[in-house]
Amino acid sequence: MFPDTYTVDGHYHIAIGGVPIRQLAEEYGTPLYVLDYDTLIHRIQSFQESLREMNPPGQAFYAGKAFLSTAMAGLLKDQGMGLDVVSGGELYTALEAGMDPARVVFHGNVKTEDEIRMGLSRGVGYFVVDSLAELAAISRIAGELGEQAAILLRLTPGIEAHTHAFIQTGQFDSKFGFGMIDGIHEEALEQALRLPNLVLKGFHAHIGSQIFDEDPFVHNAQRLMEFMRVALERHRYWPDVLDIGGGFGVQYGPDDDPPQVPRILARVNETMRRLTPPGYPVPTVFIEPGRAIVAEAGVTIYQVRATKTVPGGRRYVAVDGGMGDNIRPALYQAAYVAQVDGKNPETPAGVYTIAGRYCESGDILVKDIALPEPEVGDYLAVYGTGAYNYAMASNYNRVPRPAVVLVDKARTVLWVKRESYEDLVRNDLPWRRPEEGRWR
Residues that bind ligand LLP (CB under 6 A): 63, 65-66, 84, 107, 167, 169, 206, 209-210, 245-248, 288-292, 328, 332, 387-388
Shortest distance in whole angstroms from residue 122 CB to ligand LLP: 20
Contact of 391 with 67, CB cutoff 8 Å: yes
Is the torsion defined by CA of 268, 274, 276, 281 positive or negative?
positive
Residue number, 283 or 329, with CB nearest to ligand LLP: 329
Cβ proximity to ligand LLP, 134 vs 288, nearer residue: 288
Q: What H or E segment, with its residue span, contains residue 216?
A: helix 215-235
Q: Least distance in Å: CB of 363 to ligand LLP? A: 16
- The DSSP annotation for 37-58 comes to HHHHHHHHHHHHHHHHTSSS--
| Nearest residue (CB) to ligand LLP, 167 versus 232 | 167
- What's the maximum distance between 2 C-alpha atoms anywhere in the chain? 78
Of 115, 171, 123, 130, nearest in space to 149 by CA = 123
Nearest residue to 239 via CA among 82, 56, 51: 56
Which of 379/388 has CB closer to ligand LLP? 388
- Tell me whether residue 197 or residue 220 sits nearer to ligand LLP (CB atom): 220
Ordered alpha helix ranges (H), 326-377: 328-332
CB of 352 to ligand LLP, least distance (A): 24
Closest of 3, 11, 7, 20 to residue 344, by C-alpha = 11
Q: Distance of alpha carbon 395 from its chain centroid, rounded?
A: 20
Q: Is 39 a catalytic residue?
A: no
Query: What's the min distance (Å) between Cβ of 277 and ligand LLP?
Result: 27
Q: Which of 287, 301 has the CB closer to ligand LLP? A: 287
Nearer to ligand LLP, 121 or 333 (CB): 333
Nearest distance in Å: CB 78, ligand LLP: 21
Beta bridge partners of 302: 380
Sign (positive or negative) of CA dihedral 225, 228, 232, 236: negative
CB 38 to ligand LLP: min, Å = 20
State the minimum distance, in angstroms, from the CB of residue 246 to ligand LLP.
Answer: 3
Residue pair 407/424 in contact (Cβ under 8 Å)? The answer is no
Angle formed at CA 106 by CA 103 and CA 111, multiple of 5 degrees: 160
Catalytic residue chosen out of the listed positions 199, 359, 376, 410: 359
Strand 403-408 to 411-416 pairing: antiparallel
The 10 Å CB-count burial string (b at 16+, else e) for 145-174 is eebebbbbbbbbbbbebebeeebbbbbeee
Catalytic residue IDs: 359
